[in-house]
């Protein structure tokens, strides 16, 4: 199965279309099995005590799943999240970036379902699990 956008194309698309998140995310892998996205953790992502916040992890999962879908269907900027469920399971490692490994579970005409597993760089056990449903707008 060919993919529509590789890591380079996804990184270019993010830089171009999503100014607000410029520099925060790096697509490290985009292949038939899914994508890997790195969150470059900085002060704004932290809670008191230096741990990455839940919302920062949710945002990483959202970008990862969006990239996983676009990697398969091309640069559809208007795909939107309709539902998400997230479990926070372990405290992230202080001072480490977070990585989201994402795979698509269903890619329909109208809805796509994907799941991201988030872990600290250098640590295998998942910090968080997030599944999302995206609505895909009709082709023009």
Q: Which residues of this chain interact with a second copy, rule CB under 8 A?
A: 17-20, 43-48, 53-55, 58-59, 62, 77, 80-90, 105-106, 110-111, 113, 115, 125-126, 129, 131, 133, 135
Min dist CB 99 to a second copy, Å, is 16
Q: Report the length, in residues, of the chain.
A: 140
Beta strands in the chain (DSSP E): 25-31, 34-39, 80-88, 98-107, 111-120, 128-135
Rounded to a whole number of angstroms, the minimum distance from the CB of residue 104 to a second copy is 10
| Cα 72–chain centre separation | 14
Q: Rounded to the nearest whole angstrom, what is the least distance from the CB of residue 19 to a second copy in the complex?
A: 8
Residue closer to a second copy, measured from CB, 26 or 53: 53
Tell me whether residue 8 or residue 77 sits nearer to a second copy (CB atom).
77
Nearer to a second copy, 101 or 115 (CB): 115
Tell me whether residue 8 or residue 90 sits nearer to a second copy (CB atom).
90
For the bound state, the minimum distance from the C-beta of residue 61 to a second copy, rounded and expressed in Å, comes to 9
Alpha carbon distance 29, 43 (integer Å):
25
Non-local (6+) Cβ contacts of 23 within 8 A are 40
Among 40, 29, 53, 23, smallest CA distance to 103 is for 29
Shortest distance (Å) from residue 140 CB to a second copy: 16
- Of 31 and 87, the one with the shorter C-beta distance to a second copy is 87
State whether residue 14 is helix, strand or coil. Answer: helix
Number of continuous H segments (helices) and E segments (strands) in the chain? 2, 6
């Amino acid at each position: 199965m060919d993919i529509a956008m590789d890591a380079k194309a996804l990184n270019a698309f993010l830089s171009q279309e999503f100014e607000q998140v410029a520099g925060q995310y790096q697509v490290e892998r985009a292949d038939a099995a899914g994508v890997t996205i790195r969150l470059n953790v900085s002060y704004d992502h932290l809670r008191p005590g230096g741990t990455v916040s839940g919302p920062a992890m949710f945002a990483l999962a959202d970008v990862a799943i969006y990239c996983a879908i676009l990697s398969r269907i091309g640069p559809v900027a208007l795909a939107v999240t309709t539902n998400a469920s997230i479990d926070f399971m372990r405290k992230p490692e202080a001072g480490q970036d977070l990585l989201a490994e994402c795979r698509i579970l269903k890619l329909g005409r109208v809805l796509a379902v994907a799941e991201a597993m988030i872990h600290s760089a250098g640590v295998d056990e998942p910090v968080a699990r997030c599944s999302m449903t995206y609505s895909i707008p009709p082709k023009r």
